[in-house]
Amino acid sequence: MTGDFGGRGRQGMSGSKSVEVKRGMIFYIQRFSVHDGPGIRTTVFMKGCPLRCWWCSNPESQSFSPQLIVRDVNCAGCGACVSACPKGAVTLAAHLGRRINRALCDDCLLCVDRCLYRSLDRCGTAVTVDEVMDNIERDLPFYRNSEGGVTVSGGEPLSQADFVEQLFVRCGKEGLHRVLDTSGYASGHDLERVARQADLILYDIKHLDPLIHRKATGVDNAVILENLEKAARINGALWLRVPLIEGFNDAEEHITRIAELGLEKGAEKISFLPYHEGGLSKSRQLGVDYPFKGIRAPGDERIAELAGIVEAMGLKVSIGV
Amino acid sequence: METMQSMSSGKRPADKVGCLSPEELRKKVVSRAIRNIKRGHADDDSKRGMFRPEVRLDLQRSRLMTESYRETEGQPMVIRRAKALAHILTNMGIFIGDYERIVGYQTAEPNGIFHPIDQNWKSPRRLANSEEGKTLLDEEGRKELDKLCDYWKGKSISDRHQAALPPDLKKYWTYEGTFLWSQLSELGVPNYEKLFKAGLKGIVEEARQRMDELDREIPVDFKAQKDFLEAVVISLEAVIKFAKRYADLALSASAKEINPPRKTILEEIARTCEWVPENPPRTFIEAIQFFFFIHLVRYLEYSTLGIGVRVDHLFGPYYEKDLREGRINREEALGILQLLWIKLNELGLVYSPTVSSVYGGVASLQAVTIGGTDEEGRDVTNDLTYLVMEAAESLRLIEPSIALRIHDNTPDEVYSRAVDVIKTGIGYPSLFNDEALIPLYERWGVPHGEAKSYSVTGCVYIEIPGKNILRRSVGYPVLAKMLWWALHQGKDPKTGVQFGARTPDPATFKSWEDLLDAYCEQVKFFFTKIEQLERINNEILAEYLPRPFYSALLDGCIEKGKDCRKWVYPSMIHHFAQVIGGVNVADSITAVQKVVFDDKLVTLPELIEIMDRNWEGREDVRQACLSAPKYGNDDDYADRIAAEVMVRGEAAVEEVKDGFGLSHRSDGSAVSATYGLSGDTPATPDGRRDGEPFSDSTLAPAPGRDKKGPTAVLKSASKISTVDTFNHLLNQKFSPKFLTGELKPAFMGYLKTWKELSVPHIQFNVVDRETLVKAKKFPEQYSDLIVRVAGFSAYFVDLSPGLQDHIIARTEQRLV
């Protein structure tokens, strides 16, 4: 399958000519990250994702380009952004406060530099491997003492496979434990070359039914399942991660099938990630729709029940981690 | 030996276990915590009482001390002090609680506190006659207090001090916002190991022998030495008799007791109090009771805060011997520790309303120490280390706080248990890093082996047990206000009065280093004032408040024939000041460099002018100052300046020497002053508005200014050299989820890295923000909720709304 996996082709990150330093588009570097792999980690969040999952908790990770973040609570009404905007997208009125017309805004971000109150902010920065390493290396002793390391998450890291591969090679030279957190939606070649550089793969399984998968994420799951097979053949460890959404993928029969898949592929464990509403406020700040407001996580008892089923099959389960 | 046999043949221990459950024991505690009713000059929450309504001021110590003083007029002061102590111990009302195995009380009633009238009578009288303290005494009590105060007019230490101050110095004695000089804070730790070997009778014997030698030697200060040693003998013999009063009381109670298990316990109390502290303890419970008598009498003679005992190291051998010889089991030892914990909650003191602004939530700052190494560097962890944590976990009381010493060879199991106890939210154990602190003590001049035996008395007060360290906290210098003076050449812009040092005009400053120079000069100026106040105070204390009892418990006083106030352990572990606002100073100097000298947004005089208007109309400048790099984000721009500010600031403090030639120095134990005294510091260049609270500890980022998470905070803290500064305090707040289940190993890794990074201290508030917000709204449902304030834990409901908000506002290191 040679689908459009987004990423390099679409965004042209490295430009058309050969560029000395490859840059990656990231939206955040999270220090003291303890949920994406073992120990204390630094998680690098790559920006851009070919999927559009209903439950996405990082809506700012979807677009491959820098975006404007608006935090109205911080706005002092100074009007600096109004004069900074070349498109006339920003207006300021006494009774309405500061408004941004997203239809006119092209995310040029000129207003961000003028905002003193961090009410307008940039989401998305093109960085070099060296720049990321400078951040990662700050917490070396924490990784060592907690058996932690580096996680690359997203967005979809494999959409920027060149950059992530380089970053992992550098981390490998430093002796750091590397985790790849992926949806698996990428070309098999990209998956393999990046996965080979990882010590652990966190592999998302959202739904096993192709039609439901397409409906909820916008893409087919065939390539994901094919790639899972490839990931499993590579030496590193494998954990399956299942975002748990009530009434969507939490049927016992479905969870049992995921567990069977995990056993078959030699996964060390399954992580349940119950849905949370973290994405809601962020989508508001981005000025994008978050249309699936009705969805929610199964109750704690239900989650424990599902965990019991998986454990009974001989596979470890963790919740939220 | 005969007694030993009779003891071990007694029926033990099963029938004595579990007299009361931890929950029942908790109900026996009357919280004596002070509630902050003031914030600097301003009222904070004065409509409620300064103490919980059930607390009573007990006048018996004041009454008996006054009686004794009247009878001993004209005698040498040291003898008068000893006789006063003896008179108190012989005549004070005593009782034994119906659940107790360890006995001794500082007052005649279980809900009592006392005030050292010999030190200061004005505060308790003012308080007892005010709305905030009217529940402390009834009408009759107030009348008696008035009479007692009449005697002490002109005689109390406070009266004598104020009378001696020259007018120029007196204006610095009055708190105006730059430092709160405080009379009432005296620490120190007896040499319990020596006491346990000799018993008090051994110490009396030592004093007597020394007196015989003096009769032969006739040194130049013969009379002074003889008086001191006689006072030692009077005091110690009084303590022995005091214990025997409890023995007699227990014996008569046991004769009337019909419940067989309780009768056995009363008989045990009688045997124990008959034996200790006169003789060396032979068993765990004897050692504990011995300790508690000494601890109690220290307070009755005159101490105000702290414990400082290394519980596992001191009592471990007694517990293990009992265990080996079948006299005790683990469960019973835990029960005994729980009973001791209750006793340590029974101490409390009255402070003045102004001082309540810094001691809000404190009872008597009791801290015990566990872990660490012996003088040879061997890890001292034993079963008692874990039992102490278990006792604390089961009781969940604000005191005693536990100071856990961590070093390179601390077992993993200790970290693990510590995390479990911290997770409960009680705020302790707080962790002390031997690898960072011991080199600091060595710089202060403490010999290597002795440095390794350090303990912690309360907050981060450092002690070397048994050495003649009569430590006082001299008060609370507000470093951020000193910076403010440096920005105003020491002159109050409103009044034109020259109050601080006349430092150079800020218009001439070329970089942050110039501002730092001026700041250091102000620090030195104000510490010199503190020293001058302190010098006169110490002279008065030495003359009018010798401490023969406490002196006898320290190394060297008996040999020298000198009271502990007249000489010192030769090191910098001596008086100290609890500095606050240092991180705001660092951030302010950084902001000046960034906004004024790098970005040239405004000139320094313009910035000062804007700041003095509390940023009014120039929010843009305030935001620029807020956006300047801040300490706590592992940002080298800010951290490099912070490191320099702290090191240079401390060097300025150390330039000021006391009467013994020892340097003044800072200490991280800011209690709740970071909130209580911040109200009198106008806006500062870090973007802080007039009166806003400071960073809550000497190593913690200013509230809400750390954006990069807990590892970045530790990295920033690690750039401040402990050895070149002082014993800091670092508060961090975590959501409980971080310490639980699958995340616990990561948290332990975080603590190990804390140790490796040589950050000297860390402690945690483990509570969700939501819980605190609810507790503020519905105090009645959260009466037991404990939070960590500075170096101590407090019931959240005892704090004023402002201080509650300050704690809620601390950055919670959240799950992402």
Q: Which residue of B lies nearest to A58 if distances are taken between CA atoms? A: B816
Q: Does the CB of B620 have a partner CB in chain A at under 8 Å? A: yes
Confidence band (pLDDT; 50, 70, 90) for B247? very high
Lowest mean pLDDT among A143-147, B348-352, B384-388: B348-352
- What pLDDT is stored for residue B811 in this prediction? 60
Taking the CA of residue B429 and the nearest CA in chain A, the distance in Å comes to 21
Contact A39 B745 (CB under 8 A): yes
The answer, yes or no, to whether residue B359 has pLDDT greater than 70, is: yes
Confidence band (pLDDT; 50, 70, 90) for B791? low
Contacts of A318 in chain B (CB under 8 A): 742
Buried b (16+ CB within 10 A) or exposed e, B727-759: bbbbbbbbbeebbeeebbbbbbbbbbbbbbbbb
Average of per-residue pLDDT across B57-83: 97
pLDDT mean across residues, chain A: 90
Record the tokens describing residue A74, joined without a space: 């911080």
What is the per-residue pLDDT across B415-427, written as a single tens digit (0 to 9) for each? 999 999 999 988 8
Contact A76 B708 (CB under 8 A): no
The letter for the amino acid at B448 is: H
DSSP secondary structure letters along B279-297: S---SHHHHHHHHHHHHHH
Contacts of A269 in chain B (CB under 8 A): none
pLDDT: which is higher, A294 or A293:
A294
Lowest mean pLDDT among A4-8, A187-191, B263-267: A4-8
Chain A residues at the B interface, defined by Cβ less than 8 Å, are 30-35, 38-40, 76, 78, 116-118, 138-139, 141-142, 144-148, 318, 321
CB of B720 within 8 A of CB of B699?
Answer: yes
Helix, strand, coil percentages (3-state) for chain A, rounded to 5, are 35, 20, 40
Contact B750 A40 (CB under 8 A): yes
**How far apart are the C-alpha atoms of B74 and B55, rounded to whole Å?**
37
- What pLDDT is stored for residue B816 in this prediction? 35
- What pLDDT is stored for residue B477 in this prediction? 95
Confidence band (pLDDT; 50, 70, 90) for B138? very high
Taking the CA of residue B459 and the nearest CA in chain A, the distance in Å comes to 27
Partner residue opposite A142 with nearest CB, options B619, B745, B753:
B753
- What pLDDT is stored for residue A216 in this prediction? 92
B644: which residues sit within 8 A by CB, 6+ positions away? B516
The answer, yes or no, to whether residue B123 has pLDDT greater than 90, is: no
The percent of residues above 90 in pLDDT, for chain B, comes to: 70
Average of per-residue pLDDT across A146-173: 97
Contact B742 A318 (CB under 8 A): yes
Question: Of B591, B601, B699, whose CA–CA distance to B637 is shortest?
Answer: B591
Most confident stretch, A120-134, B128-142, B462-476: A120-134
- What pLDDT is stored for residue A6 in this prediction? 64
**How far apart are the C-alpha atoms of B84 and B58, rounded to whole Å?**
17
What is the per-residue pLDDT across B772-789, written as a single tens digit (0 to 9) for each? 888 888 887 787 788 877
**How far apart are the C-alpha atoms of B463 and B456, rounded to whole Å?**
6
Contacts of A34 in chain B (CB under 8 A): 738, 743, 746, 815
Q: Does the CB of B640 have a partner CB in chain A at under 8 Å? A: no
The answer, yes or no, to whether residue B279 has pLDDT greater than 80, is: yes
What is the per-residue pLDDT across B201-214, written as a single tens digit (0 to 9) for each? 999 999 999 999 99
Q: Does the CB of B619 have a partner CB in chain A at under 8 Å? A: yes
The answer, yes or no, to whether residue A12 has pLDDT greater than 80, is: no
Taking the CA of residue B224 and the nearest CA in chain A, the distance in Å comes to 58
Average of per-residue pLDDT across A34-56: 94
- What pLDDT is stored for residue B3 in this prediction? 35
Contact B711 A31 (CB under 8 A): yes
Record the tokens describing residue B228, joined without a space: 């001191």
What is the per-residue pLDDT across A74-94, written as a single tens digit (0 to 9) for each? 888 888 999 999 999 999 987
Helix (H, G, I), strand (E, B) or coil at B548: helix
Taking the CA of residue B735 and the nearest CA in chain A, the distance in Å comes to 13
DSSP secondary structure letters along B205-239: HHHHHHHHHHHHH--TTHHHHHHHHHHHHHHHHHH
- What pLDDT is stored for residue B350 in this prediction? 81
Peptide bond before residue B13 is cis, with ω within 30 degrees of 0: yes
Q: Does the CB of B783 have a partner CB in chain A at under 8 Å? A: no
Average of per-residue pLDDT across B462-472: 83
pLDDT: which is higher, B706 or B650:
B650
Record the tokens describing residue B674, joined without a space: 């970071």
Helix (H, G, I), strand (E, B) or coil at B404: strand
Record the tokens describing residue B743, joined without a space: 């995340």
The answer, yes or no, to whether residue B807 has pLDDT greater than 50, is: yes
Q: Which residue of A lies nearest to B710 if distances are taken between CA atoms? A: A32
Mutation to test the A interface, candidates B750, B751, B813, most A Cβ within 10 Å? B750
Record the tokens describing residue A182, joined without a space: 């992926």
Q: Does the CB of B753 have a partner CB in chain A at under 8 Å? A: yes
CB of A197 within 8 A of CB of A178?
Answer: yes
Contact A30 B709 (CB under 8 A): yes
Average of per-residue pLDDT across B335-347: 93
Contact B709 A34 (CB under 8 A): no
Contact B746 A34 (CB under 8 A): yes
The percent of residues above 70 in pLDDT, for chain B, comes to: 95
Contact A146 B711 (CB under 8 A): no
Average of per-residue pLDDT across B104-114: 90
Contact A40 B742 (CB under 8 A): no
Partner residue opposite B749 with nearest CB, options A118, A146, A321:
A146
Partner residue opposite B711 with nearest CB, options A40, A118, A144:
A40
The answer, yes or no, to whether residue A20 has pLDDT greater than 70, is: no
Helix, strand, coil percentages (3-state) for chain B, rounded to 5, are 50, 10, 40
The answer, yes or no, to whether residue B13 has pLDDT greater than 60, is: no
Confidence band (pLDDT; 50, 70, 90) for B571? low
Contact A116 B708 (CB under 8 A): no
Contacts of B601 in chain A (CB under 8 A): none
pLDDT mean across residues, chain B: 91
Q: Exposed, middle or buried, A251 (CB in 10 Å: 0-12/13-18/19+)?
A: exposed
The answer, yes or no, to whether residue B325 has pLDDT greater than 80, is: yes
Contact B715 A33 (CB under 8 A): no
Mode of pairing for the β-strands spanning A200-204 and A269-274: unpaired
Confidence band (pLDDT; 50, 70, 90) for A291? low
- Tell me how many residue pairs between chain A and chain B have CB atoms under 8 A apart: 72
- What pLDDT is stored for residue A116 in this prediction? 85
- What pLDDT is stored for residue B544 in this prediction? 96
Average of per-residue pLDDT across A127-132: 97
The answer, yes or no, to whether residue B196 has pLDDT greater than 80, is: yes
**How far apart are the C-alpha atoms of B17 and B33, rounded to whole Å?**
30
Confidence band (pLDDT; 50, 70, 90) for A7? low
- What pLDDT is stored for residue A14 in this prediction? 41
Average of per-residue pLDDT across B176-183: 89
Confidence band (pLDDT; 50, 70, 90) for B812? low
What is the per-residue pLDDT across B585-641, written as a single tens digit (0 to 9) for each? 999 999 999 999 999 999 999 999 999 999 999 999 999 999 999 999 999 999 999
- What pLDDT is stored for residue B12 in this prediction? 41
Partner residue opposite A142 with nearest CB, options B627, B708, B750:
B750
3-class SS letters over A113-127: HHCCCCCEEEECEEE
Q: Where are the beta strands (DSSP E) in A183-218?
A: 200-204
Contact B620 A35 (CB under 8 A): no
Contact B712 A31 (CB under 8 A): yes
Contacts of B813 in chain A (CB under 8 A): 32
Contacts of B743 in chain A (CB under 8 A): 34, 321
3-class SS letters over A147-182: CCEEEEECCCHHHHHHHHHHHHHHHHHCCCEEEEEE
CB of B791 within 8 A of CB of B671?
Answer: yes
Buried b (16+ CB within 10 A) or exposed e, B461-490: bbbbbbbbbbbbbbbbbbbbbbbbbbbbbb
- What pLDDT is stored for residue B813 in this prediction? 58
**How far apart are the C-alpha atoms of A18 and A104, rounded to whole Å?**
34
Contact A32 B750 (CB under 8 A): yes
- What pLDDT is stored for residue A3 in this prediction? 54
B486: which residues sit within 8 A by CB, 6+ positions away? B500, B503, B506, B515, B518, B519, B521, B522
Peptide bond before residue B22 is cis, with ω within 30 degrees of 0: no
Lowest mean pLDDT among A157-161, B24-28, B262-266, B793-797: B793-797
Q: Does the CB of B709 have a partner CB in chain A at under 8 Å? A: yes
The letter for the amino acid at A122 is: R
DSSP B305: S
Is the pTM higher than 0.90? The answer reads yes
Partner residue opposite A39 with nearest CB, options B715, B749, B816:
B749
Average of per-residue pLDDT across B125-151: 92
- What pLDDT is stored for residue B8 in this prediction? 37
Lowest mean pLDDT among B142-146, B192-196, B350-354, B681-685: B350-354
- What pLDDT is stored for residue B778 in this prediction? 85
- What pLDDT is stored for residue B735 in this prediction? 86
Average of per-residue pLDDT across B43-48: 74
Contact B742 A321 (CB under 8 A): yes
Q: Which residue of B lies nearest to A74 if distances are taken between CA atoms? A: B623
Task: Give whole-number Cα distances, A106 to A100, A101, A109, B80, in Å.
Answer: 11, 10, 8, 86
- Compute the Cα dihedral for A162, A168, A172, A178 and give only its sign: negative
Helix (H, G, I), strand (E, B) or coil at B349: strand
Mutation to test the A interface, candidates B711, B747, B752, most A Cβ within 10 Å? B711
Taking the CA of residue B712 and the nearest CA in chain A, the distance in Å comes to 8
